[in-house]
Amino acid sequence: MPTRVGLGGLGAVAVTYGFARYGYGLFVPVLREQFGLSTPMLGVLASASYAAYLAMLVGSGVAAARTGPRVPVVIGSLSAAAGMAIIAVAQSWPVLALGVVVAGSSAGWSWAPFSDAVARMVDDDSQARTLSVISTGTTFGLATAAPIAVLAGASWRPAWWAFAATALATAAYNTWLLPTGTPTHDGSLPRLRVAWFVCPRSGPLLAFAFAFMLAGTVYLTFAVDLVRAGGLTGAAGPVLWLVIGVAGLAGIAGGDLITRYGLMPTHRVTVLALAASIAALAVAPGSWSVLIVSAALFGAGYMIAGALLSVWSSRVFADRPAVGFTATILTGSLGSIAGPAAAGAMATRVGMAGTFLVLGVATALSVIIRPAASDRRDRQRSSTTLCPSAPEHTGT
């Protein structure tokens, strides 16, 4: 069962994040030429896609609480398939924009519900590993999409049809695999209060989510521009993404690292790897060797951090894993929104290399964030620090 759930989650995250959400960025050059899009318009499309993602992320938490994990996950994969099919047939920029937004929204449905699925379908000893495998789906998607984007070139439509077909296959598999309904209550939506989300135990988790997603989004947004300004050729972008995707496979080991060493040591190593990747690119943005090392450190660190976030959240919000993880991702998304805007403003003063250096130092300082409990024994001893259970509605 852990293998089946892991494959289902990995596939869902790969098609919704790796293809549907991030695939747009990989194909931006050819889409710009094909549809005559300006840089501001490309940015507007990306922002609209992200706004749809956030909206659907909230919907995912509500749906998981009411119906169980199957419905939101299948909705996510079908949204990805529909959006990418629209992109494949688009002949005008408004149709392209619709496809980008629908495809981008799909990621909001797909990741968090697997926290409930793992809690229900996987034994305790295998949960951390399974959550890590699922969180690594993004890197599988990127590692597949990056070379496809390079090989497709101007013949980009068949690539999007292939992505859409993969999403349909994922929807079918998870329809067969995942359960419906909720095992702990009658299906009514829990009355979620601020005190349930924000408590002594969740504070460090939410702070880490914010810092991790801020740093990651800035890197993914501006790293290519930085290395091109440093003198590297146009191939730097695809190479950077490919190395990130391949190195991100290390995220599969995230659960085993947490099980063996605990949350705190894994957190420290992950944060320092991310900080080193960002600072290295700031110091030598025109070096191919530094680019590869930076991308490898970032890919491994970013995906292990994603696994860490998933496992950590499942322990903090043990009574409502999917709803709690949705709240965690939403908090991290605030960092994703604030990061690029702040970095862009800072770059006008100190340059992009200086901005990356400041970000690298700030990321390293986030190592002071300390998980409230590093393992299951600590969690049992420190039960008073757990976020309180959310009381449920007694009526409709």
Token pair belonging to 332: 């991290």
Residue 396: pLDDT band with limits 50, 70, 90: very low
CA 345, 328, 109, 314 dihedral sign is positive
Q: Which of 66, 73, 95, 91 is nearest to 16 (CA)?
A: 73
Judged against a pLDDT cut of 90, whether residue 31 lies above it is answered with no
Give the pLDDT confidence score for residue 41 in this predicted structure. 79
d(CA 60, CA 79): 13
Judged against a pLDDT cut of 80, whether residue 64 lies above it is answered with no
Give the pLDDT confidence score for residue 182 in this predicted structure. 64
Window from 118-127, 186-195, 210-219 with minimum mean pLDDT: 186-195
Of residues 346 and 50, more confidence is placed in 346
Q: Which of 117, 144, 146, 139 is nearest to 130 (CA)?
A: 117
| Domains in the chain: ranges and CATH | 1-182 (1.20.1250.20), 192-381 (1.20.1250.20)
Highest mean pLDDT among 190-194, 204-208, 212-216, 356-360: 356-360
What is the pLDDT averaged over residues 99-108? Answer: 90
Secondary structure in 3-state letters for 255-269: HHHHHHHCHHHHHHH
